Amino acid sequence: MTTLTALPAAKFDSKTEQNWPGFRGPGARGIAEGYPTRAAWNVDPAAGKLSGLLWRAEVPGLGHSSPIVWGNRIFVATAVRLSGKAPLRIGYYGDTQAAQDNDEQQWMILCFDKKTGKRLWERIIRTNKPAATRHEKATHANTTLSTDGQRLVAFFGSEGLYCLDLNGKPLWSKDLGVINISKYGIGWGYGSSPALHGERIVLLCDDPQNPFVAAFRLSDGKELWCVSRKGDCERSWGTPLIHNDGARTQVVTNGWPYIVSYDLETGKELWRLRGGGDNPIPTPFVAEGLIIVTSAHGGKAPLFAIRPSARGDISLPEGSDSNDAIVWSVPNGGSYISTPVKYGRYVYLANHNGVLRCYEFGTGRKMYEERLGANSAFSASLVAADGKIYCPAEEGVVSVIKAGPKLETLAQNEMGEPCLATPAISQGVLYFRTTASLLAIG
């Protein structure tokens, strides 16, 4: 392992720098306010004169790992196939075969200067043949990094858990064995990013053969607890939510057949909710004090707004959309892959078939449901800022929607490359990771 550039110890003031420390930023909410953000841009030379592009940096290999931001640095993970370009198939389709991409790979973490896009350092953290296969639309580096401002955590499922400092120096690592998130007998790839809270890392590992959730100590990687999810979850790809409501700190995990919440300190189950799509991918998040969870596939696509004080089995009886723990729910309006964003009075969901839905947050009343493009498929999650909702489609078009109860498209921006990673936002600049590049739009 080699660090290309030695840097002084990283110390940043989070009060003056707008950080985006993990998947979908603070609290996985996908929102960054306080700065104006751009609606229209052009970064594709084939589409005419460039506009709005602050910088573009090459990212080797293939990964859907989203960029994260701390202080003046951006961090991203990738997997570099050593025998040539890794295959990727995008679009809306229902095939179930694995990608032909199990040649030797290098898993890497890259660090860039936030203002200029200059690569500051890179670290090869593992070189090996993948221990599990992946979906044709996935990569061997799907997961997003997470940081507390001092340490950087990466988890690649079967390829291990790693902790580095912000200069790329390895601190510790752990091998958790093969975690083969499978369906139809095919490994579809690992997708749940690490969640940090204080001195704890929480990992969700829903291999159907041995599903579990576990907490580790951030300082040295020591396992603090591990709870089996056998019988509770057959597979999932969502990142766990860690939420402190003032009374307790809980870990909320999307899953099927149950969404389950655990106590962060002990791993003890707090509540569970039955029902949902059988391929749960979106990440839970908190909005206006309620826990928002959605899923889809297999005939069900619910959207739930849950009180953090829930206890026990809060499952809804057939035909009911609320109870003491569930403030409201929509039985068939959720999203399959993309995590929604709640912004202002509304919650927005983009689906894999190109449909964008908007609901009134207080009631779950549908405001609109419209298709953004005939060839659009949404895997990246939505983010919002400055009165705008940003919707990246796999085909490399970012639709910018005006926030509100009626669909108003402000712009549709060509990126020139497929885009399946969720963007980051910091100080009014949008950071997009495409299949080959990291771009700053401002």
Render 177-196 in DSSP notation, one character per residue.
-----EETTEE----PPPEE
**Nearest one of 426, 421, 339, 396 to 74, comparing CA atoms:** 426
pLDDT computed for residue 14 by the predictor: 39
> How many C-beta atoms lie closer than 10 Å to residue 352's C-beta?
22
Q: Is 3 helix (H, G, I), strand (E, B) or coil?
A: coil
Q: Do 420 and 89 form a contact (C-beta atoms < 8 A)? A: no
Residue that wins the pLDDT comparison between 7 and 351: 351
Residue 180: give its domain's CATH number.
2.130.10.10
Question: Is residue 436 assigned to a domain?
Answer: yes
Q: Do 176 and 161 form a contact (C-beta atoms < 8 A)? A: yes
pLDDT computed for residue 321 by the predictor: 95
Residue 12 has pLDDT above 70, yes or no: no
pTM: 0.94
Backbone angles phi, psi at 359, to 5 degrees: -125, 145
Residue 9 has pLDDT above 80, yes or no: no
pLDDT class for 34, splitting at 50, 70, 90? Answer: very high
Question: Is residue 20 assigned to a domain?
Answer: no
Mean pLDDT of the chain: 93
Question: Is residue 2 assigned to a domain?
Answer: no
**Nearest one of 229, 260, 263 to 243, comparing CA atoms:** 263
Q: Where are the beta strands (DSSP E) in 15-95?
A: 53-58, 68-70, 73-81
Q: Specify the number of domains making up the chain.
A: 1
How far apart (Å, rounded) are the C-alpha atoms in residues 169 and 171? 6
- Which strand ranges, in their side-by-side order, compose the sheet holding 151-155? 146-147, 151-155, 161-165, 170-174
Which residues, listed in sequence order, are joined to residue 244 by a DSSP beta bridge? 249
Question: Is residue 6 assigned to a domain?
Answer: no
The region of weakest confidence among 146-160, 179-193, 229-243 is 179-193
Give the tens place of pLDDT for each residue, 321-363: 999 999 999 999 999 999 999 999 999 999 988 999 999 999 9
Question: Is residue 203 assigned to a domain?
Answer: yes
Q: How many CA atoms lie within 13 A of 209 on its CB side?
A: 9
Q: Do 378 and 391 form a contact (C-beta atoms < 8 A)? A: yes
Provide the token pair at 57: 């940096």
Residues 6+ apart with CB under 8 A from 240: 192, 195, 202, 203, 204, 213, 251, 252, 253, 283, 284
The fraction of the chain above a pLDDT of 70, given in percent, is: 96
Question: Is residue 12 assigned to a domain?
Answer: no
pLDDT computed for residue 8 by the predictor: 34
Question: Is residue 410 assigned to a domain?
Answer: yes
**Nearest one of 208, 126, 147, 130 to 12, comparing CA atoms:** 147
Range of the domain at 31: 26-91+98-441
The answer for 100, left when phi > 0, alpha when psi is -120 to 50, beta otherwise, is beta
Q: Do 136 and 97 form a contact (C-beta atoms < 8 A)? A: yes
Residue 44 has pLDDT above 90, yes or no: no
Q: Is 46 helix (H, G, I), strand (E, B) or coil?
A: helix
Which residues, listed in sequence order, are joined to residue 384 by a DSSP beta bridge? 31, 389
pLDDT computed for residue 17 by the predictor: 67
Question: Is residue 4 assigned to a domain?
Answer: no
